[in-house]
Structure 1
Amino acid sequence: MAAVARMQPEDTTYWLVREAFGWSVVLQILWRFPAAPERADLEAFAERLRHSVLNRRLVRARTPFARHRWEHADFAPELLVDEGTIPVDDIESWSGTELHSSPLDPEHGPAWRLRGTPITDGGFVLSLTALHLIADGRTMVTAATAALTGTPSDPLARPPIHDPSSRVAADGLGPRAARRAVRRLSDSAPGILATRGATRRLGDIALDAADGVGQVATAGLGIGRAAMAFTRHRGSRAPVDERPAKPQAHVRSPLARNSWATVSVEVAHWESVARQHGGTTNTLFIAVLAGALRASGYGTALKIGIPVSRRAEDDDAGGNATAGVSVQLIDELIPGGDLGPLRRQCKEAFTRLSAGERAPHVHLLPLVALLPTVLVVRAATAGSGMPDVVASNLGDFGDELRCLGGVSATAVAFRGIAQGVDPAEPYRFGDGVQSWAIRTGDTWTFSVAAFDEQHFPHPDDLRKLLAAELDGWGVEHRMW
C-alpha cells in the first residue's frame, strides 16, 4: 500500500484562511519569452505537470481530529493559450488578472493552471498558478523545473496495491485501458469490487482514527514545548517588537487592493553592489524593500519576516516546509549605507533557528488543527504581529527553468496573493510590502506587492519608490 501523506502543520495556515475567510492563497511563476514557444512544447510541459507534485487533491478525514490527506489527482487542467495578443504595457495587468482569478480548488480540482498569451512585440508570457496549500514556492519551482526537463515525479502517484484500477495500470496498461479493464471487472464481479471498496473505506476510517489519536497526543506535546519556548524566549536575545501602534490593516487598505512591481538585475552586478556595502544578496534585498516602504511614509521601525526552507533532501511528499525568522529594523538604513549591522542581525536570527529556537506559537500548530475555526480566527487576529516586510528568496535555479523547447525566457518571476479577500470584512492578506526573489541563470528577479493603500495610493507609487531606492544603492535594473 502506498504511504499516506497527511496535511502537515506548515499547511495549516493556508487551510485555515480558506475555511475561515474563503481565501485561496495562490502562487504564480511567470516566464517572459522573446518569442512564442511551439504549441507542442507547451502541451508537453502541461502533460508533464499532470505527473508532478502540483497535481494533487485533498481528501477530508472521516474521523474527528485526524489530518486530511493528499492523493495524486486523476484529473488535470487543460492548457490555455489566448488567441489574441496583448500590448507589452499590459503584461502586468494580464498576469495579475490570472493570479487573482485562476479557479483553483484543493478538493475538487484542479489545483494548478497553465496559461499563456502572445505579446504584440512578438514575445510570449506564460503563467503557472498553483495553490500554496498544495506546494510552497520552492516546491512549485522545483516541480516546474522537473516538468520542463522531462522528469516530473510525485511519490503519491505510485499506485496502491489495494486499488484495482491502479493494479491494472501498474501492469503496463495506460489510464484509459486501465479504466476499461476496471469497468469490465466491475460488470463481471460487482460483489467483489463492492467488498473491496467497503474494506478500503473501513481501512481509511481506521487509519484516520489512529491519526486522530496521534494528533491529540501531538497537540499535548506541542503545548508543553510552547511553554518551554516561551520561557526561553523571555530570556533570549530574540528581537522585541518595538513598532509603534498603527491603524489596523483594513483601515489603511479599505479596498483590499495591492499594487505590483517586478525587477530584474544581473546576478553578478547585484552581488557586487552587496559586497561593496558589507552585505549579502539577501541583506541588499531586504534593505531595498525596507527603504522603499520607509520612503512611502509608512514608518521607521519595521518588522522584517524572512521565510526559510526547512525541507529535508529526502522529503518529497509534503507540500509546505517553510519556517521563518524575524528581524527588527529600527536604525535608519540610507541607500548606499553600511549593510553590516543588518547582516549581523540576520545571521543571529538564522543561528537561533538552526539551534531549534522557534517562536512559542509554532509549537501550537497541531493544536490549532483541533480547535474550532472561530476560536483560531479570534486568537490570530487579536494581535498585530504581521511583518511589515516579507522578503522571500526562493533560491538559485539553473537555465533549465528558463528553457521551453527551443525558446529561452529573458527572465522568470515568482509571486503570490490571496484570492477572495472581501473589502467589507476586517481581514487582510499582507501588510506593508511582500516580495519573492528567484535566480535563474545569471538573472536575479524579484516581484514586490504593496498592500498599504494609504502609503501607496496610486498604482505607480511602488514602481517609483522602488526604482529610486535601487538607484540610491547604485543598482542597474530593468523594470518589467
Structure 2
Amino acid sequence: MLDQGFYAGHRAAGQKEVMQVGWVYDHAIDTDGLKRFHQNLTHGLLGRLIERSPLPFGRDRWVMDPQPADIDVAPCARPRAELGDWLDECTQLPLDPESGPGFRLSVLPLADGSTAVSLVLSHYVIDGIGAAIAVSQAAFDLNRDLGYPPPRSRSRVQALLEDARGAARDAAPVARAFVAAAKEARRRRNDTTRPEPTRPAAVTTNGADSPVTAPCIWIQIAMDEWNARVEALGGTNSALAAAFTARLDRHMGRQHGDSDDVTMLMTVNNRTGEDDLRAVAVSFARVNIDPLSATTDLLAARTAIRDALKTFKETQADDESEVFAPLTPFTPKRAWLQMVEYGLNDPEHPALCTSLGDTGPAAIRPDGTLCATAFARGASQHLTPRWLERIGSQLHVYFGTAVELNTVGICVCAYHPDSVTTKADLRELATRTLAEFGLTGEMN
C-alpha cells in the first residue's frame, strides 16, 4: 500500500522520480558481458511493472515487464567533458512504471577511449538500496523468478471479483485509518507552525513549462584522504557527509525557518533483505547540523545524527504512513495534491542527505569486469522552471563508498535562484566546501 501511495501522490502532482547508476571504464566494455547483465536485470526486481486495479478503490499489483527496452548505444563518441551532460540526458529518457519500460541501460563511447554506462530506473519500481541488490544479483548471474503474472492476464470480471474480495478483507484497517485521518486533518487545520499553502508563482519568462534539469555534479574523492579527515575531525562517514551537506547548504544561502542550523533528512534503510519486494523501503530521520563548527569538529554532527536515529527508532512504531496506508485506494487526486502542498510548505525546507553504503564487488562490474569509477543518484523527470520557482530551492546529496576502487563518491543535485542555477555555480561552491574540510575531488 505504501508503494501505491508513493506512486499515486507523485502521479497526482505530475512528478516523475528516477534513480540513476553510472559506471565509467577507461577502455571499451565487454559487450557480451553487458548484454548478459541487461538480460539478468529483466529477471529481477527491475523486470516488473505496476498494473492498476479496475476497481477505483482496488490495490495495484505487480506484473512482469514483457518487453524491456534494448540497450541504447550512442551512435558516435562524445568528448569526456560532455559526460555529465550525457548522464543528465539519460535521466530524461522515457520511463513508465505501468506501460514500460521500467528501466533503461545506455552506453556512450567517449573520445578519449573510455566508455560510460548508465542505468536509469523508475523510482516507483524500486528504490536505491533495492536497485543495489538488483544490480549485484544481475552482475552475479543470480536470476530470480518472482512469480509475477503477465500484464492483463486476468479478465475484467476476474480482476473485479478478486480485487473486490481484497477490498473486503481490508475493511477493518480501512475503518481505523479513516478515524486516524480525521484526527490528523483536525491537527493540521490547527497547525500554526506551517505557512498557508502557496500556489506556484507566475513565471514571467518564456518556457516556464519547458523541461530542464537541475544542476548536478559527481565528485570522486580518494578514500584514504576522506578517511583521514573523518579520523582527524572525530567523526564518521555519515557525519562528514552531513557536515559537507550543511556547509554547502549554507554557502547556497538556503533558509531553514528560525533555526541557525541546517535541517536535513537522512535516509534510513528499512529493507529487510533480498526477499523484501517493496518498491520503496526507506524512511527519513530529521537532523539539525550546525554548519559553523562542522569543518573543525564532527563531534556535534555525530551526536546529532545519533540522537536523531535514536528518536526515529523509538517513534518508528507510531509511523503515520503505516496507519494511513489502507486509505491509499480511496484517496482522490485533490487529497494527494493537498499532501504534496503540505510537504512543500515545510517551514524548515530540509536538505536531503542519502547514504548508499558501499557498492560491494558486484555492483561495480556491470560487464563482468571492474570499472574505473561509479556513482548513483536520484533525479526528476520533466522538471520545469515553474516547478523550480515553486519549490524555491533544493539540495540533495548522495554519497557512497567503493572500497575496491578506493573512492568515495558524492553526487550533488542542487538549485537556488540566487546562487546555483548552473553546473559551474555548483562546482564552484562544492570546491569551496571541500576545501574547508581539507578535501579535494575530481568533478564531472
Using structure 1 for the length normalisation, give the TM-score: 0.79
Contact 1:57 1:71 in 2 (8 A): yes
1:63 corresponds to: 55
What does the per-residue CA deviation read over 1:22-68, in whole Å, with 9 as the maximum and x for residues that have no partner? 33211110001111112212211111112121011111112232210
Q: Percent identity?
A: 23
What does the per-residue CA deviation read over 1:304-363, in whole Å, with 9 as the maximum and x for residues that have no partner? 01111111126332211111111133x443453221122112112211222243554663
| Alignment counterpart, residue 204 of structure 1, candidates 135, 145, 159 | 159
Give 3-state SS (helix, strand or coil) of 1:104's partner.
Answer: coil
Contact 1:259 1:462 in 2 (8 A): yes
1:297 corresponds to: 253
| Alignment counterpart, residue 28 of structure 2, candidates 1, 19, 36 | 36
C-alpha displacement of 1:406: 5.8
Alignment of 1:271-290 (within 5 A): 271-290=227-246
Tell me, in whole angstroms, the C-alpha distance in 2 between the residues paired with 1:245 and 1:230. 15
Say yes or no: does 1:137 pair with 2:128: yes
2:138 corresponds to: 147
Tell me, in whole angstroms, the C-alpha distance in 2 between the residues paired with 1:250 and 1:337. 40
Bigger shift: residues 216-225 or 432-441: 216-225
Contact 1:54 1:143 in 2 (8 A): yes
1:127 corresponds to: 118
Give 3-state SS (helix, strand or coil) of 1:272's partner.
Answer: helix
- Which blocks of at least 5 consecutive residues in structure 1 are unaligned? 1-7, 167-196, 232-239
Contact 2:124 2:280 in 1 (8 A): yes
Alignment of 1:211-230 (within 5 A): 211-222=166-177
Tell me, in whole angstroms, the C-alpha distance in 2 between the residues paired with 1:268 and 1:250. 46
Say yes or no: does 1:341 pair with 2:296: no
Give 3-state SS (helix, strand or coil) of 1:395's partner.
Answer: strand
1:399 corresponds to: 361
Give 3-state SS (helix, strand or coil) of 2:273's partner.
Answer: coil
Alignment of 1:77-476 (within 5 A): 77-100=69-92, 102-157=93-148, 202-222=157-177, 257-299=213-255, 300-313=260-273, 315-329=275-289, 331-334=290-293, 336-357=295-316, 358=318, 360=320, 363-382=323-342, 384-385=345-346, 387-405=349-367, 407-424=369-386, 431-441=393-403, 442-476=406-440
Bigger shift: residues 265-274 or 46-55: 265-274
Contact 1:249 1:431 in 2 (8 A): no
| One-letter amino acid matched to 2:5 | T
| One-letter amino acid matched to 1:287 | A
C-alpha displacement of 1:213: 3.0
Bigger shift: residues 405-414 or 55-64: 405-414
Distance 1:321 1:427, change over 3 A: farther
Give 3-state SS (helix, strand or coil) of 1:48's partner.
Answer: helix
Contact 2:17 2:380 in 1 (8 A): yes
Contact 1:292 1:469 in 2 (8 A): yes
2:6 corresponds to: 13
C-alpha displacement of 1:112: 0.5
Contact 2:270 2:281 in 1 (8 A): yes
Give 3-state SS (helix, strand or coil) of 2:334's partner.
Answer: helix
C-alpha displacement of 1:277: 1.4
Distance 1:110 1:430, change over 3 A: farther
Tell me, in whole angstroms, the C-alpha distance in 2 between the residues paired with 1:429 and 1:282. 26
Distance 1:253 1:268, change over 3 A: farther
C-alpha displacement of 1:455: 2.5
Tell me, in whole angstroms, the C-alpha distance in 2 between the residues paired with 1:113 and 1:417. 14
Give 3-state SS (helix, strand or coil) of 1:144's partner.
Answer: helix
Using structure 2 for the length normalisation, give the TM-score: 0.85
Bigger shift: residues 407-416 or 209-218: 209-218
Contact 2:133 2:274 in 1 (8 A): no
What does the per-residue CA deviation read over 1:207-258, in whole Å, with 9 as the maximum and x for residues that have no partner? 3113223445334334566799999xxxxxxxx9999999988689986641
1:188 corresponds to: none
Tell me, in whole angstroms, the C-alpha distance in 1 between the residues paired with 2:135 and 2:216. 23
Distance 1:97 1:440, change over 3 A: same
Bigger shift: residues 53-62 or 425-434: 425-434
Bigger shift: residues 267-276 or 89-98: 267-276
C-alpha displacement of 1:279: 1.5
| One-letter amino acid matched to 2:99 | H
Bigger shift: residues 461-470 or 148-157: 148-157
- Which blocks of at least 5 consecutive residues in structure 2 are unaligned? none
C-alpha displacement of 1:439: 2.1
| One-letter amino acid matched to 1:24 | K
Contact 2:177 2:326 in 1 (8 A): yes
C-alpha displacement of 1:204: 3.2
Tell me, in whole angstroms, the C-alpha distance in 1 between the residues paired with 2:419 and 2:202. 12
Distance 1:36 1:137, change over 3 A: same
Tell me, in whole angstroms, the C-alpha distance in 2 between the residues paired with 1:397 and 1:304. 24
Tell me, in whole angstroms, the C-alpha distance in 2 between the residues paired with 1:10 and 1:437. 24
Tell me, in whole angstroms, the C-alpha distance in 1 between the residues paired with 2:147 and 2:224. 39
Distance 1:361 1:79, change over 3 A: closer
Q: Between Structure 1 and Structure 2, whose CA radius of gyration is higher? A: 1
What does the per-residue CA deviation read over 1:118-150, in whole Å, with 9 as the maximum and x for residues that have no partner? 011110000001100000011112111211121
Give 3-state SS (helix, strand or coil) of 2:250's partner.
Answer: helix
